């Protein structure tokens, strides 16, 4: 069901979509296939609710969000299992997906009592001045399937604490997670119309949201193709578009690294979530002195990974048939480009009928090859070689993306140079490219994003979902002119 103005309702057309388990094809749930007419009512509800929600004190908003976060926490086991069933990631990660939303909920609930502006001193007597934060209005929230609870959590808790109201469209691949996430807010007593859920496809619901005149801003996470199109549409309509898009992240392993630690990190970064993370480590750049040792250890670990249903395996399925096809094609592209396939490379049936693909490793990959440049979004890792820190950093930086990068080194000076020179929104030192925490901002540069951050407080999501208004109050009872009358004061 859609959730509009506090009620669970079908699509106006009565049409539905099935959501299936990528590990075995079983139907996980059936949701409305909505369209423009459904978006219209949801936007209308959100617009009406905005007038009260924006005037609800932020600490009171925070109390409701705290309740929603607690409900998500109470339901963590069942929601985590749902994530695994609908999206495919292994159960530990499914539970982590939920935990991230819980963490964000607690953090943002607290922001209700912070969310500070600035106060400062006027150059004139009997005058005070401050900046305050206010919501923008109604946001369209458009999310991908790979973190079906965490990413809505990042966006929705932050947008709501700022006083916005929302129309949320989850991915067509994981709408049941979207429904259950929304239910937590309903059960927490969120006033009607503040959060509305409309399920359906990107072209039918997403497009209608982006172009709707009643929507004041779009927060989108997903692919570059869709994100760039949304930025262009929003630009024409003069509405903010906060977009987080793809990545081609790399781990740089130096000659002085703890190689075993780097292997652990590269396995987690490359094959965690079956490589379907925006921060996945799909490239590993190896200093030539440790290349052989790293490669042998890495391959041994990659071959041993247990593939199957995420409820019991170490690597789950890809999301759908199109993704399986895409990954298969990239392996073919890699072969044709002259990279050497060291392991994997084929779809496999795993234990069910699902979209399983073997953990795959290429070496002899050159920085300009397509497999080293384009986002594959599957369990495929490219090994590249460098001769020193400078060349390694240049290779890491040599893609259009800029989300996450990592360096393994025991040399503090190398870590400092890497921290300064790596061109990405996130840098990890002696840790993999994944593992961000909710209380610092998250987001990429270059083609990954244009600087609106997710997560974090001030400097992060609060800057995205609120705007600053500056207030000057003159209580002198006479005309005072800034810049002009300051001499008299002196
Ligand atoms: P996608 O771009 O296909 O879809 C994302 C969302 O946009 C979905 O809800 C989809 O229905 C909607 N959509 C599709 N067409 C639309 C349109 N024309 N108008 C409006 N909305 C539309 O991406 P995906 O396959 O769901 O997710 C995978 C991608 O997301 C990868 O590229 C990955 O790197 C990226 N991602 C980025 C981050 C990040 O924070 N940078 C995080 C997670 C995923």
Express each pLDDT in 168-220 by its tens digit. Answer: 999 999 999 999 999 999 999 999 999 999 999 999 999 999 999 999 999 99
Note the pLDDT tens digit of each residue in 74-101.
999 999 999 999 999 999 999 999 999 9
Domain boundaries defined on the chain: 2-245+448-472, 250-429
Tokens at 102, concatenated: 């819980």
Residue 277, strand partner residues: none
Question: Mean pLDDT, to the nearest integer, of 434-461?
Answer: 94
Q: Helix, strand or coil for residue 426? A: strand
Say which range, 216-230, 337-351, 370-384, 420-434, has the weakest mean pLDDT. Answer: 337-351
CA distance 56 to 406: 42
* Per-residue pLDDT tens digits for 311-325: 999 999 999 999 999
Question: What are the pLDDT digits (tens) for 390-406?
Answer: 999 999 999 999 999 99
Q: Judging by beta carbons within 10 Å of its beta carbon (0-12, 13-18, 19+), is residue 471 exposed, middle or buried?
A: exposed
Is residue 202 lining ligand 1, measured as CB closer than 6 Å?
yes
Strands (E) located in 180-310? 195-197, 217-221, 241-244, 249-253, 281-287
Strand order in the sheet with 118-121: 118-121, 127-135, 466-474
Mean pLDDT for the chain overall: 96
d(CA 276, CA 273): 5
Distance CA 476, CA 444 (A): 47
- Please give the pLDDT value at position 488: 61
| H/E run at residue 468 | strand 466-474
**Residue 206 Cβ contacting ligand 1 at under 6 Å:** yes
244 is catalytic: yes
CATH number at 250-429: 3.40.309.10
Residue in the structure block whose two tokens are 């391959």: 299
Rounded to 5 degrees, what are φ and ψ at 378? -160, 180
What does the pLDDT average to over 439-455?
94
Residue 353: what pLDDT?
A: 75
pLDDT over 70 at 350, yes or no: no
373 by Cβ neighbours in 10 Å (0-12 / 13-18 / 19+) ranks as middle
Q: Determine the atom of ligand 1 nearest the C-alpha atom of 226.
A: 2
* Ligand 1 pocket test, candidate residues 34, 155, 156, 223, most atoms within 8 A of CB: 223
Task: Give Cβ neighbours of residue 368 (< 8 Å, ≥ 6 apart).
Answer: none
- 396 ligand 1 Cβ < 6 A: no
Count of other CB atoms within 10 angstroms of residue 432: 24
> What is the atom index within ligand 1 of the atom nearest the CA of 173?
26
What is the distance between the alpha carbons of residues 112 and 161, in angstroms, rounded to a whole number?
Answer: 6
Catalytic residue among 162, 278, 358, 385: 278
Known catalytic residue at 234: no
C-alpha distances in angstroms, 44 versus 4, 32, 194, 331, 489? 10, 19, 11, 47, 52
Mutation pick for ligand 1 pocket among 222, 269, 461 (CB with most ligand atoms within 8 Å): 222
Mean pLDDT of 151-178: 98
Question: In angstroms, rounded to a whole number, what is the distance separating the alpha carbons of residues 106 and 87?
Answer: 25
Nearest to 164 by CA among 441, 467, 451: 467
The reply to whether ligand 1 has any atom less than 6 angstroms from the CB of 107 is: no
Topology adopted by domain 2-245+448-472:
Aldehyde Dehydrogenase; Chain A, domain 1 (3.40.605)
Domains 2-245+448-472 and 250-429 share a fold: no
Distances (CA, A) of 211 to 110, 204, 238: 33, 11, 11
Please tell me the predicted confidence (pLDDT) of residue 35: 97
Rounded CA-CA distance 451/299 in Å is 37
Q: What are phi and psi of 483, to 5 degrees?
A: 70, -40
Say yes or no: CB of residue 231 within 6 Å of ligand 1.
no
157: Cβ below 6 Å to ligand 1?
no
Ligand 1 atom nearest residue 143's Cα: 9
Q: Long-range pairs for 24-28 at CB < 8 Å and ≥24 separation?
A: 24/309, 24/352, 24/353, 24/354, 25/352, 25/353, 25/354, 26/85, 28/82, 28/85, 28/86, 28/176
Does ligand 1 lie within 6 Å of residue 441's CB atom? Answer: no
User: What does the DSSP 8-state code read for residue 200?
Assistant: S
Query: What's the first-to-final CA gap in the chain, in angstroms?
Result: 67
* DSSP H stretches of helix in 75-139: 76-87, 91-111
Please give the pLDDT value at position 451: 82
Bridge partners of residue 281, in order along the sequence: 249
Tokens of 242: 């906060």
| Distance in Å, CA 143 to ligand 1 centroid | 6
């Amino acid at each position: 069901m859609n959730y509009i103005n506090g009620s669970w309702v079908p699509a106006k057309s009565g049409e539905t979509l099935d959501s299936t388990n990528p590990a075995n094809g079983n139907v996980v749930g059936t949701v409305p296939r909505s369209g423009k007419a459904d978006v219209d009512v949801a936007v209308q509800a959100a617009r009406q609710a905005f007038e009260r929600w924006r005037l609800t004190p932020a600490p009171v908003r925070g109390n409701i969000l705290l309740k929603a976060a607690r409900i998500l926490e109470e339901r963590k086991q069942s929601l985590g299992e749902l994530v695994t069933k609908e999206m495919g990631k292994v159960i530990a990660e499914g539970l982590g997906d939920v935990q991230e939303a819980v963490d964000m909920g607690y953090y943002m609930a607290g922001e209700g009592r912070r969310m500070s502006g600035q106060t400062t001193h006027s150059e004139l007597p009997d005058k005070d001045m401050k900046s305050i934060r206010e919501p923008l209005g109604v946001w369209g929230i458009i999310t991908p399937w790979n973190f079906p609870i965490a990413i809505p959590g990042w966006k929705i808790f932050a947008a709501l604490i700022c006083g916005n109201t929302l129309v949320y469209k989850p991915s067509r691949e994981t709408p049941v997670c979207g429904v259950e996430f929304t239910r937590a807010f309903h059960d927490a007593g969120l006033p009607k119309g503040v959060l509305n859920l409309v399920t359906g496809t990107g072209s039918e619901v997403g497009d209608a949201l982006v172009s709707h005149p009643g929507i004041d801003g779009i927060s989108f996470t997903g692919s570059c193709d869709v994100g760039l199109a949304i930025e262009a549409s929003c630009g024409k309509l003069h509405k903010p578009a906060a977009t987080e898009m793809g990545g081609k992240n790399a781990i740089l392993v130096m000659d002085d690294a703890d190689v075993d630690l780097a292997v652990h990190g590269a396995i987690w970064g490359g094959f965690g979530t079956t490589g379907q993370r925006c921060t996945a480590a799909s490239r590993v750049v190896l200093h030539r002195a440790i290349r052989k040792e790293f490669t042998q250890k890495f391959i041994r670990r990659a071959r041993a990974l247990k593939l199957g249903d995420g409820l019991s395996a170490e690597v789950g399925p890809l999301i759908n048939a199109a993704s399986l096809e895409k990954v298969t094609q990239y392996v073919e592209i890699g072969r044709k480009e002259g990279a050497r396939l060291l392991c994997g490379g084929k779809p496999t049936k795993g234990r069910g009928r699902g979209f399983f693909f073997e953990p795959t490793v290429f070496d002899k990959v050159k920085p300009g090859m397509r497999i080293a440049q384009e986002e594959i979004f599957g369990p495929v890792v490219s090994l590249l070689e460098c001769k020193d820190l400078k060349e390694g950093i240049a290779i890491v930086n040599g893609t259009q993306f800029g989300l996450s990068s990592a360096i393994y080194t025991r040399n503090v000076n190398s870590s400092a140079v890497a921290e300064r020179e790596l061109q990405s929104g996130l840098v990890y030192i002696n840790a993999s490219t994944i593992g961000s925490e909710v209380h610092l901002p998250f987001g990429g540069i270059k083609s990954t994003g244009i600087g609106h951050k997710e997560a974090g407080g001030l400097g992060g999501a609060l800057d995205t979902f609120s705007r600053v208004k500056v207030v000057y109050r003159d209580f002198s009872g006479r005309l005072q002119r800034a810049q002009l009358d300051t001499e008299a004061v002196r």
